[in-house]
A and B are shown apart, each in its own frame.
Chain A
Amino acid sequence: DAGVTQSPTHLIKTRGQQVTLRCSPISGHKSVSWYQQVLGQGPQFIFQYYEKEERGRGNFPDRFSARQFPNYSSELNVNALLLGDSALYLCASSPGYSYEQYFGPGTRLTVT
């Protein structure tokens, strides 16, 4: 079975621009979570979606938004990019509303 996939792999944006990151969960998984991992730090929770509804939100500004589609894939949007948004963005999927999380390879976002 295919694991969690994320696109694109790498992305370079300029300050003030907007970016959309995409995630496809493992087949059959209904929950998707997003994490931001700044270089040298552990992942920080941004959002969790379950059955297309937001179930959790971390301490991130409103510039960050996400949604989940009927096929359970998800998009993370970041508006008005700042240099501090440069990070590895990880997506994780779960089979249900559970403790298990399976991570994708991440999208490396660089803001210049």
Chain B
Amino acid sequence: AQTVTQSQPEMSVQEAETVTLSCTYDTSESNYYLFWYKQPPSRQMILVIRQEAYKQQNATENRFSVNFQKAAKSFSLKISDSQLGDTAMYFCAFSPTLTNTGNQFYFGTGTSLTVIP
């Protein structure tokens, strides 16, 4: 069974500071994708960053970067220079190798991030 765990229900950070959100997952798959999605109060799920498990290099997207530790099954998100617009719920998600049973995403329970002015 695939599980995704986010152990930080709520976090806050001062504007312009850096914050790290934690995520661990459990799988027996050797190849898979990991994602961080952002869900602001408007409810729209927005892809923040994606990491392919077979790539050792950590993904980066502007102010967002990940620390992917495959052996430890850890996938944390670092947000640098936090902005007020970063205030949202952040979900870690896992997608195993595509199979004939579908492309199912497994989500964690989310971390509510508040950026304080």
Write the residues of chain A forming the contact surface with B, with a CB cutoff of 8 angstroms.
31, 33, 35, 40-45, 48, 50, 55-58, 88, 90, 92, 94, 97-99, 101-106, 108
Contacts and interface: CB of A to CB of B under 8 A. Distances in A.
B103 A43 contact: no
Majority secondary structure of chain A interface residues (helix, strand, loop or mixed): strand
A33 B101 CA distance: 13
Contact of B103 (A90, A98, A104, A106): A98
A42 B104 contact: no
A31 B43 contact: no
Interface residues of B, number: 25
A42 B45 contact: no
Contacts of B50: 99
B101 A56 contact: yes
A45 B105 contact: yes
B62 interface: no
A50 to B, nearest CB: 8
Contact of A99 (B33, B100, B106): B33
A44 B110 CA distance: 12
B83 to A, nearest CB: 22
Interface in B92-117: 93, 95, 98, 100-110
Contact of A42 (B4, B46, B98): B4
Contacts of B101: 55-56
B103 to A, nearest CB: 6
B44 interface: yes
B30 interface: no
A48 B103 contact: yes
B91 interface: yes
A97 B44 contact: no
